[in-house]
A and B are shown apart, each in its own frame.
Chain A
């Protein structure tokens, strides 16, 4: 197994606020191999964005209390002083964000913003930097880059803006690209173009990608490995194949069953996950998902589940207190089209676990 490019170990991030301490990230561990794509799936309040911002040290300003390790090529980014971390940002690790219209400065030309990204990390003359900027815009598929480089972000269409952001992120040949919901604000045909672009660039440049999204379709297409986050914790992590063919966590089951999918039968009912995502100031005790879990037992409110390997699958980990046999059975019921109540009932009819 290749040496991990980025390894996050037991990361915890808290924000003190007027209403209490927000436990945005509550002990997560994951890694990314060079040249591979990790997909982090979660909804709002899952902590997926905070964990990536913390990787780049962008949560330090907000008074975050950070514990744990983020090892990038062996160096612990959490312990790194600001000046050294700044040298990595936009250089070896780059990040792109969700809404390219608000993520680019509205009053500076696009070319200038690209040149800025280049000159922040190396000695390069204005003319050379501008030439490189034009080259980068062409690389990401923007037509007529020589003219576009002197335009303002609002003169670009949504898809082109996101391409420009990608160009800016790639300016210094990063080893890792973190993409936070890069296509959520885009139309579906544009989304397809951007995802194809990212795949092509990954092949050509050999960089690793962390893609953060709530869209299971996007992650199925792009990711080699997937980590599912809920309420600040990782509940499941495995290869993309395993997550979709044999998911192990009730939250993952809930997600898969509650989204309409083109390939499913139209009449299949959507099974929503009941309740709402929890507050991160006073998260549920024990397993964070237990209040919404159809299969929860009484002691799940007391015990914190740890990520444990799924028997027989060395790269598949899940944080769940149900037994592996019970989980396997429940999933086979759900996959056959039954709703959670039926799946649960079928089990107890057979004399319990």
Chain B
């Protein structure tokens, strides 16, 4: 197993470098505008632009720039500086990561609890009104666009513009250490909205998985042993949950790279919002940093999903 993990990590690193290179090239190829021009201010003189270009290292060849960048990342952990704020990319991301993590992990808790319980009950009460209602509701939630749902929820429940003034509105996020209660209440709506689609997906998956599992021979054996139905269901859940956990790892991995839409709607200062703004502003180094971060999380999540699966299922062993 260790050999397997090491192998995956090394390949992951290689993949990160490739992703890095791709972003590099993409940014040069797309008509986004010369960052030096953007930095130079109104009506820039050509020699000023050239000077800025030299300072920023934009006059060198593309491979040379890439090499400089890689050296900075791997030897000095320097990810560059924002063209606008001059703040280091690392610190920018570092400021915003906690918000994204809070958002993602909280939403994951919500969707797992909601999705799994609905899925299990649906599977056990197959074809009843409950089941049809739950799966119908799930379909609606999967189809609803996140931002639409977010705006709807704000319109209904936020305490500044909503009909029922329950939760703090958009823009009220504060760090956990700053004011725990405010942190918690400001995230309730974003958590629910972010969780909505995933909860629905997981509910459907869990239902399917449970239905299949409960037909298995070992469930019949459990009943034949005289176990209470509750214990039998527990055995069923234990088997059904393996593919779900794998999917959980992957989804969390993607979201940790930034839930752009939700962060925008609720004005949460997370990595997703950062990425979006820096793309719009052609703030190249910041974009590069957020892309690297997102890729890293996805790669790690994939490895975690595979390792987790082997942990959950003793029959699976990697060479």
Contact = CB atoms under 8 A, between A and B. Distances in A.
Q: Direct contact between A and B in the complex (CB less than 8 angstroms)?
A: yes
B224 A89 contact: yes
A308 to B, nearest CB: 35
A259 B221 CA distance: 32
Interface in A22-71: 56, 58
Interface in A196-250: none
B231 A94 contact: no
B315 interface: yes
A99 B217 contact: yes
A116 B224 CA distance: 12
Given A116-B231, A154-B314, A154-B315, A103 B221 contact: yes
A336 interface: no
Contacts of A99: 217
A106 interface: yes
Chain B interface SS verdict (over half)? helix
Nearest to A118: B225
A152 B314 contact: yes
Contacts of B221: 97, 103-105, 165
Contacts of B220: 58, 97, 103
Nearest to B314: A152
Nearest to B241: A107
B238 interface: yes
Interface bracket on A: 20 to 34
Nearest to B219: A105
A53 to B, nearest CB: 8
A177 to B, nearest CB: 11
Contact of B315 (A87, A90, A94, A106): A106
A272 B55 CA distance: 93
Interface in B295-318: 312-315
Contact of B217 (A94, A103, A108, A120): A103
A88 interface: yes
Nearest to A155: B314
B43 interface: no
Nearest to A165: B221
A101 to B, nearest CB: 9
A102 B216 contact: yes
B314 A56 contact: no
B22 to A, nearest CB: 41
Nearest to B225: A90
Given A120-B231, A154-B315, A103 B226 contact: no
25 contacts: A58-B220, A86-B227, A88-B226, A89-B224, A89-B226, A90-B224, A91-B226, A94-B224, A97-B220, A97-B224, A102-B216, A102-B217, A104-B218, A105-B222, A105-B235, A106-B315, A107-B238, A107-B312, A108-B235, A116-B225, A116-B231, A117-B226, A120-B227, A120-B228, A165-B221
Given A106-B218, A108-B238, A154-B314, 13 more contacts: A58-B223, A86-B226, A86-B227, A89-B224, A89-B226, A94-B225, A95-B224, A102-B216, A103-B218, A103-B220, A108-B235, A116-B227, A120-B225
Interface of A: 56, 58, 86-91, 94-95, 97, 99, 102-108, 116-117, 120-121, 152, 154, 165, 168
Interface of B: 216-218, 220-228, 231, 235, 238-239, 312-315
